[in-house]
Amino acid sequence: MCYVWIRCGDTSTAQTITEQGGIVMTHPVVAIVGRPNVGKSRLFNRLIGQRRALVGDRPGVTRDRNYATAEFDERPFFLVDTGGFHMAPTDPLMEQVILQVRAALEEADAVLFVLDAIEGLTPMDRDIDGYLRKASKPVFHVINKVDSSRQEEGVYDFYELGVEHLFPISAEHGRGIDDLMHAVVQGLPATEPAVPSDATHVSVLGRPNTGKSTLINALIGETRLIASQTPGTTRDTIDTPFIWNRHAFVLIDTAGIRRKSRITEKIETVSVIKAFQSIDRSDVCLILIDATEGITEQDARIAGLVHEAGRAAIVLVNKWDAMPRGSDRRTFDSEVRQRLKFMDYAPTLFISALTGAGLGAILPLAVELTATSCKQISTSTVNQALRKAVSEHAPALFRGRRVRFFYGTQGGTRPPTFLLFVNEPKGVHFSYRRFLINRFREELNLPKVPVRIILRKRR
């Protein structure tokens, strides 16, 4: 993961930003802007070489700023996808989208202004062009959807904007991309020294409207993501690089995961798949539960996905400030433990993303869990723990034979995984496997993280 130093006004040095927190980047920034449905996200995906941003025919699919690293002619840069630009927003959510676009423009070293060759030049395009001229940033007018020579005639209409160079492209087919990016990278500033890249990836998961985006905004101290009472506001998985206490993080905001019966739109289905994928690339998962609604079956399902993936987790009971006076944390925690028996190792924190209460414990705990999940343990130490566990509680007979454990060794991390060689793997009951996991967690100092045991027949 690469980072770019954020523009922080009169902040004197990068070191100050590192110590106080902030979004940290090291490469120049290229922002993609334009009115809705002109192909910004498709261009974003084309330039980074993967389907990171959602693409749909309906306007408004992209709402937050979406960051990714890209490279052209051996020149790395940070690419920012933005929501559709409305100069006169008609609702509060769209106003927040515009704030995100304007924040991206402030950070940008170059701007790709995407226009639609099929629809032609519109009044909204003229308004956006006028706004960009005031921003005093290098602007590249990109005429998208020129999929063949037949669409090229429509490009000339855009010279009405009074620009010298137009860049006709097809984000769908890659046509004209090289000419565009050659021009863009030539004007970018030099890359600044990079910060350490061993970032801890922390994903934020939960049902819709549990406060995921509000939590990330509170952790980084900036309105980086759109937070709304409307469920489903976040649709992409959004990566936010961030430095806390000289430790690099990538905070991953995900779409709210609904029950299958409530997933009706294709776009939302893809969003949920992306949320599942974010679990796999996480070191720690934050599972948000809405205290005012209690722990639900869907909360347990989301926790189960994290558990099955073997990722360390923190259960965050959010909106605790909205609970009636006298609400007992112990009672609520007991209910969580009861519903999430399979995840009894995961710590629980009571927080308010809105007021900031309890947030100070999250990042230190994430660092701790990541270190524990990546812990390397010697084979001799593993075998000492195995012998002690078997001597305390021997496995049951299997088909009249004693089940014998020969030796064990660590087989992997994230989660800590141990290979145990035994004469009869089928004879080890799941309850005895659970006993071994608990004993290993205790003896090998692996608290608060999942532990896996794999049984192998010794040949």
pLDDT in the model for residue 86: 64
Distance of alpha carbon 138 from alpha carbon 136, whole angstroms: 7
* Residue 206, both tokens: 């939960």
Secondary structure of residue 353 in the 3-state scheme = coil
CB 59 within 8 A of CB 138: no
**Nearest C-alpha neighbor of 83 from the set 91, 71, 75, 74:** 91
Pairing assessment for the beta strands 110-116 and 66-72 based on DSSP bridges: unpaired
User: What tokens were used for 121?
Assistant: 């030049």
| Amino acid present at 35 | R
Q: Are 219 and 22 in contact (CB under 8 A)?
A: no
Instruction: Burial-class residue 404 by CB neighbours within 10 Å (0-12, 13-18, 19+).
Output: middle
What is the chain's alpha carbon radius of gyration, rounded to the nearest angstrom? 26
**Closest by CA position to 434, among listed 458, 451, 410, 422:** 451
- Say which residue the tokens 């040949």 belong to: 459
- Are the CB atoms for 211 and 231 separated by under 8 Å? no
Say how far apart CA 258 and CA 208 lie, in whole Å.
7
Q: How distant, in Å, are the alpha carbons of 159, 197, 447 from that of 368? A: 57, 18, 10
Tens place of pLDDT per residue across the chain (459 aa)? 333 333 322 222 222 223 333 444 457 889 999 888 899 989 998 998 865 444 344 444 344 457 777 889 888 888 888 877 765 555 554 566 566 677 778 878 999 999 999 999 999 899 889 888 888 889 999 999 999 887 788 899 999 999 999 999 999 999 999 999 999 999 898 765 444 457 899 999 988 888 888 898 888 876 544 333 434 444 445 677 778 888 888 888 776 564 444 434 433 334 445 566 688 889 999 999 999 999 998 899 889 889 988 999 999 999 999 999 999 999 999 999 999 999 999 999 999 999 999 999 999 999 999 999 999 999 999 999 999 999 999 999 998 889 999 999 999 999 999 999 999 999 999 999 999 999 999 999 999 999 999 999 986
How far apart are the C-alpha atoms of 403 and 425, rounded to whole Å? 8
Partners of 284 in the β-ladder: 202, 312
Pairing between β-strand 110-116 and β-strand 29-33 as defined by DSSP bridges = parallel
Q: Which two tokens stand for residue 136?
A: 């005093």
266: which 2 tokens? 């294709």
B/e letters for 130-157, b = 16+ CB within 10 Å, e = fewer, are ebbeeeeebbbbbbbbbeeeebeebbee
Q: Please report the domains of the chain, with CATH numbers, ordered by start residue.
A: 27-186 (3.40.50.300), 200-373 (3.40.50.300), 379-457 (3.30.300.20)
Rounded to whole angstroms, how far apart are CA atoms 12 and 72? 31
Tokens of 51: 């389907």
Residue 28 has a pLDDT of: 85
To which residue do tokens 């690099």 refer?
248
pTM score, whole prediction = 0.61
Torsion-angle region of 59 (φ positive above 0: left; ψ -120 to 50: alpha; else: beta): beta
Structure tokens at 414: 């994230």
